[in-house]
A and B are shown apart, each in its own frame.
Chain A
C-alpha cells in the first residue's frame, strides 16, 4: 500500500493542455475518486499515475519515491477498466489466480489466495465455471479479483461499473466500498458519475478542463462547493441557481432576484460579507432541491411565491418544477404523494443554512 502525491503535474497533447498544474495528495489506504465530465483530464491523470503517459512537467510520488522514470510494469499498480479484460478460455479460479501464477507462486498458495478473494467477492460457488459463460456482472467481479490478488500498492479503477445494469451497479458500489474497507487498499477511482464518487470515496477530486476544481470529502464537496461548476455537477437533480443582486435596506441585507421580485433576507454575517464584496450587484444564489420545502400558504413572510409548472414523480419522491418570477425555474423535492396541478401557487421555504451565494462573474462562492 502507498499514498500517491502529484506535484504540479501537467500534460500537453500537442497544443492541447489535458491536465494543468495538478497538485493532489491521495492518502494511504483510502478510497479516492477523480470526478469530472468527459474530457476533463481525469483519465489522463490516471494514465500518468499508472505510467501509461509521461507527464510534460511535474512529479508523481508513491509514498516518498519519485515515480516519473519508473516503467509501468515496475510501479506495482493494479487496474480495472470498463471493459473487463478477462480470459474467457479459463475458469474463474484460473483467471483470479493468473497474476500469482505468472509470478511463479506455488499451487497451494495460489489456491488459498484465490479462495480468500473469491469469498470476499462472493464468487466461491462459481470458481470452476468457465469465465466465458459468466454474466457481464460476474465478469467484472472476476476482473476485480484478478487485480486484487497480487495486492498492488495502488489500485486504479477506470469507470469499472459503466457497463453493468443499474441494479447491479448500486449493489457493486456497496460491495466495493466494503471490500476496500476490509483490506485497506489504496484505491483511485475515475468516474463521471457523481453518485459513484459520492457514495464510495473518502476523498473526491473534482476536475474540469484539466483543472482541479475542488478536493475534499464527499460532505465538503456536496455542502460547501467552492464554485458554480462543482455546485452544479454534484447532486441530482442539480442545484437551483437564481441570478440576483444584493440590496441593503434599513440595515437589512437582501438578495433580490433579477428576473422577478423574490427577496431573501440575509443574516448579519452574510450581509456584512456581501456589503464588502465588490461584485455584489451580479450574484447567483443557489439552493439544492432537497433543502427547499413547499407550503400551500404564505404562513411566514420570507417564503417565496412560485407557480407549479410540472411534476416528475419518481416513486420515492416527486420533483416539482416551479416558476419563480419571470423566467427562472426552480426544482423542489417533495413527498412522493405530492400531486398539485400545474398553475397552482406554492410558497417555497429556504433553509438559510444551505443557501449558497456565488459571484456570477468569477463563478466562485462568496465567503
Chain B
C-alpha cells in the first residue's frame, strides 16, 4: 500500500530471479543436452559444457530410429512404439475417467441425497473387498508359488489400507456435509499409497491377462484419476446455478437433455482443464506403467528408464532428446484448449 524504499524493491527482484533460475535451470539443461553430441553430454571427459558447442540432432536420431536397437531393452529398437503407447494409453485413460467422473460429479452436485452413514459403509465395503477378495486371491497365488515373498506384499497392503482408512476417516469427520462426505469418500480412493494397490492390481491383471495391454492400462488410469475428475468437475457444476437445469426441465427438456444441452456446454471450460490435468497425470505416470507393461506397451517414462542400464550405460543425450519430445503433447494440448481454460476462469462473470 505504501511505497517501500528502493533497496527493498531491488532485493525483491533479485530474490525472484534466483528462484526463477533455480526452477528453470533443469529445463534448460535438458534442452541443451538434447542437442549436444555424445562427447559433450557424457561425463567421461571431465569438462562441463554449459551450452552445446557443436549442436547436433544425433540424439533424436538415436531414439527415433532402429539401427542402434540392440542397446535397448526388450527388443524395443526405438522409442516410437513407446510414444504411440503413451499417446493411446493416456488419452484412453483420460476419456474413460472423464466419462464416468463427469456423470458422477453431476449426480453429486445436483441430487443432494442425505447419504447419512453411506460413506462409512463405502469405506467398510472397500476394506471388506480388499480383505475378503484380494487377500485370499493373493495368498492363493503365493501358495502356488507364482509370487514369492507374499508376506512382504501382505504387510505392505495391510499397512496401506490401514493408513488410508485412518486418514480418510479423520478427514471425513472434518467434512461434515452430507453430499460432500460421499464425494469425499471417492477422493479417499486416492489415499492409498500407490504401491499398495498397484501390486494387487498387477496380480489380478495377470490373472485376467490384462498385463501389457493398452486396455489394461486404460482401466487402471481411468480408475486412479476418477476421483480427481469427480472433485474438479463437481466444483465446476456447483458453480452453475441449479436453476439453469430446472429452467431447462420446465421448458420441456428431459433430465438428460438438461445435462447435455445446458449444463455440459457451460462446464466446457472446466471439462477442458480437468482433461488437461488428468492427461498430464497419465502422461507422466511411471510406477503403474512399469509394473503393468513388459514388451509391447511400455510408455515413454518406462522407456526412458530403460535408457540407463548396465549393458548400455547412461544414455543422457538420447534421454534428454526423448524428454524434450515427451514435453510436446501436453504443451500442444494445453495450447489447443487454452481458449476454454481462459473461459473456465472467467465463467463466473457471465452468470449473474
Contact = CB atoms under 8 A, between A and B. Distances in A.
Nearest to B1: A54
Interface string B1-31: 1100000000000000000000000000000
Contacts of A69: 2
A86 B166 CA distance: 34
Contacts of A71: 1-2
A71 B1 CA distance: 8
Nearest to A70: B2
A270 B312 CA distance: 104
Interface residues of A, number: 3
Contacts of B1: 54, 71
A239 to B, nearest CB: 30
Contacts, number: 4
Contacts of B2: 69, 71
B176 to A, nearest CB: 15
Interface string A52-63: 001000000000
Nearest to A68: B2
B242 to A, nearest CB: 21
Contacts of A54: 1
Nearest to B3: A69
A54 B1 CA distance: 7
A137 to B, nearest CB: 26
A9 B1 CA distance: 17
A62 to B, nearest CB: 17
Interface in B120-151: none
Nearest to A51: B1
Nearest to B2: A69
B3 to A, nearest CB: 9
B32 to A, nearest CB: 40
Nearest to A69: B2
B4 to A, nearest CB: 13
A71 B2 CA distance: 9
A128 B1 CA distance: 41
Nearest to A53: B1
B349 to A, nearest CB: 15
A69 B1 CA distance: 9
B83 to A, nearest CB: 46
B120 to A, nearest CB: 26
A69 B2 CA distance: 7
Nearest to A54: B1
Interface string B290-328: 000000000000000000000000000000000000000
A176 B2 CA distance: 36
A357 to B, nearest CB: 40
Interface string A170-194: 0000000000000000000000000
A235 B150 CA distance: 84
Interface string B163-192: 000000000000000000000000000000
A11 to B, nearest CB: 14
B174 to A, nearest CB: 16
Interface in A39-77: 54, 69, 71
A54 B3 CA distance: 11
Interface in A62-106: 69, 71
A106 to B, nearest CB: 34
A320 B2 CA distance: 57
Interface in B196-211: none
A353 B228 CA distance: 71
Nearest to A72: B1
A54 B2 CA distance: 9
Nearest to A71: B1
A271 to B, nearest CB: 51
A49 B2 CA distance: 16
A251 to B, nearest CB: 58
A53 to B, nearest CB: 9
A365 B92 CA distance: 71
A224 B75 CA distance: 94
A234 to B, nearest CB: 27
A115 to B, nearest CB: 36
Interface of B: 1-2
Give 4 nearest A-B pairs by CB, closest first. A54-B1, A69-B2, A71-B1, A71-B2
Interface of A: 54, 69, 71
4 contacts: A54-B1, A69-B2, A71-B1, A71-B2
